[in-house]
Amino acid sequence: MTTEHAHLEPAPEAADREFFLGHAELSLFDKCRNYTRAREVKELGLYPYFLPISESHTTEVDLGGRRLVMVGSNNYLGLTQDPRVVEAAVEATRRFGSGCTGSRFLNGTLELHEQLEARLAAFMKREAVLTFSTGFQTNQGVISTLVGKNDVMYCDRENHASIFEGCRLSYGQLRKFRHNDMEDLERLLRMNDRDHGKIILVDGVFSMSGEIVDLPRVTQLAKEFGAAVMVDDAHAIGVLGEHGRGTGEHYGLEDEVDLIVGTFSKSFGALGGFIAGTEDVIHYIKHHARALIFSASITPACAASVLAALTIIENEPERRHRLWEIVRKMKAGFDSMGFKTLNSQSPVLPVLAGDDMTTFALWKHLIDHGVYTNPVIAPAVPRGHGLIRTSYIATHTDEQLDRVLEAFEVSGKELGLI
């Protein structure tokens, strides 16, 4: 090869590099090419995910040209389309625009954010609150910021994925205990008697089963072993407690919980999350949490929506009372038909279906009968214990609820489940 043409062919080492990179690419994407399960379910007409809703009417949605009763939403108090909440979002958008185009750390802090944090701190009876862009980022950011390499995290096996993600990003040791099993938690706490930081991480209401955490025993063990307690109350705030402050208020143990996580995408009907605690802890998180510092802040519309929703939650307890009437009605209905609703104690009512295909089939039957639900399979639940997750809204009518029960009864009989 002449010097003038040398650039036309790669040197041997360059060719080798290209060869190996090509193989690395094949190896990297093999799992994508080999993933066929979702396409197989689609071909059977049972694919239940990423369905585009064309219009929402709070308790009903338009899907594929049909109107369905929505019992798959976390809009517990029915505030997503409350005129006061919507108008607050519109007015904030007119005043501040559609977004903040920056993080809270720099140009993304509005007066609305600080007003919201002050209002939430007063509502939650905490010294301080810090808002994050999503509930997922709240858990991720708080845990990874607070837990160091010499610390230990004790985590319920059925906690939300965002808690586990925060644990993965921290440098601490993770100890998982059996779901709501306080003897197992105590066993793990006794195994670690070194002088290091400890934190017990639990959901207040577990998002798949609807169970409420055994907070009295959690806080008792925390005192005994010198551990902090953080409760993710995403599905409890607005729902549990006399004033809707969540699991701590429900048990009368608010002062025993060190940190409370909340989200705006459930009872508040918007998007975002927050952490509530002492001023010094919140101040530290504010200046160290990468999930906060390197993410754009919640939009003006979201902040204003949550402020309006919070006012409604404080002033209209009848919404919460109605929600619990609905829960009692639906649980009694499912139980009388012979469905298993596990140990739910909340507006999340799971209906046990079985294996994956039975779960998808029940979901499809319900869709065909005008009811929107959420099918849940492994790994979100144990394999072979798929379920239909139903959840309820304070503004559901009795007529809508009766339609849901009728659809479950017909579908359950058609599939031989009851």
Measure the CA–CA gap between 37 and 88, rounded to whole angstroms: 43
Q: Any idea which of 25-39, 75-89, 217-231, 267-281 has the lowest mean pLDDT?
A: 25-39
Tens-place pLDDT, residues 62-81: 999 999 999 999 999 999 99
> Considering the domain 41-70+317-414 in this protein, what is its CATH number?
3.90.1150.10
**Mean pLDDT estimate for the chain:** 94
* Site of tokens 């409420």: 212
Mean pLDDT computed over 98-112:
96
Tens-place pLDDT, residues 385-398: 999 999 999 999 99
Q: How far apart are the first and last CA of the chain?
A: 79
Measure the CA–CA gap between 350 and 355, rounded to whole angstroms: 15
Query: What are residue 16's phi and psi, to 5 degrees?
Result: -60, -40
**How many C-alpha atoms does 79 have within 13 Å on its Cβ side?**
33
Looking at residue 14, its pLDDT comes to 55
Residue ranges of the alpha helices (H) in 170-278? 182-191, 215-225, 247-251
Domain extent listing, the chain: 41-70+317-414, 83-315
> Active-site residues: which are they?
207, 235, 266
Taking alpha carbons only, the member of 396, 409, 375 closest to residue 208 is 375
Question: What is the DSSP track for 324-388?
Answer: HHHHHHHHHHHHHHT---TT--SSEEEEEEESHHHHHHHHHHHHHTTEE-EEE-TTSS-TT-EEE
Looking at residue 196, its pLDDT comes to 85
In the DSSP assignment, the letter for residue 180 is: T
Q: Which fold has domain 83-315?
A: Aspartate Aminotransferase; domain 2 (3.40.640)
Q: Is residue 381 pLDDT above 60, yes or no?
A: yes
Mean pLDDT computed over 103-119:
97
Quick one: pLDDT band at residue 21, thresholds 50, 70, 90?
low
Tens-place pLDDT, residues 144-203: 999 999 999 999 999 999 999 999 999 999 999 999 999 999 999 999 767 789 999 999
Residues 6+ apart with CB under 8 A from 240: 204, 205, 212, 233, 246, 247, 249, 250, 346
Q: Is residue 10 pLDDT above 60, yes or no?
A: no
Helix (H) or strand (E) holding 258: none
Residues 6+ apart with CB under 8 A from 250: 212, 215, 236, 240, 241
Taking alpha carbons only, the member of 395, 160, 132 closest to residue 264 is 132
Paired strand residues for 262? 274
Measure the CA–CA gap between 320 and 317, rounded to whole angstroms: 5
Measure the CA–CA gap between 140 and 136, rounded to whole angstroms: 6
Query: What are residue 321's phi and psi, to 5 degrees?
Result: -65, -40
Tens-place pLDDT, residues 298-320: 999 999 999 999 999 999 999 99
Looking at residue 20, its pLDDT comes to 53
Taking alpha carbons only, the member of 331, 341, 418, 347 closest to residue 387 is 341
Measure the CA–CA gap between 74 and 81, rounded to whole angstroms: 13
Tens-place pLDDT, residues 120-141: 999 999 999 999 999 999 999 9
Taking alpha carbons only, the member of 32, 21, 76 closest to residue 391 is 76
Measure the CA–CA gap between 342 and 386, rounded to whole angstroms: 12
Measure the CA–CA gap between 88 and 174, rounded to whole angstroms: 42
pTM passes above 0.85: yes
- Cα–Cα distances (Å) from 106 to 113, 286, 297, in that order, read 13, 12, 10
Query: What are residue 287's phi and psi, to 5 degrees?
Result: -105, 0
Mean pLDDT computed over 234-260:
98
Q: Is residue 5 pLDDT above 60, yes or no?
A: no
Task: Residue 152: count other Cβ atoms within 10 Å of its Cβ.
Answer: 20
Q: Is residue 2 pLDDT above 50, yes or no?
A: no
Task: Name, of 22-36, 70-84, 370-384, the range with top average pLDDT.
Answer: 70-84
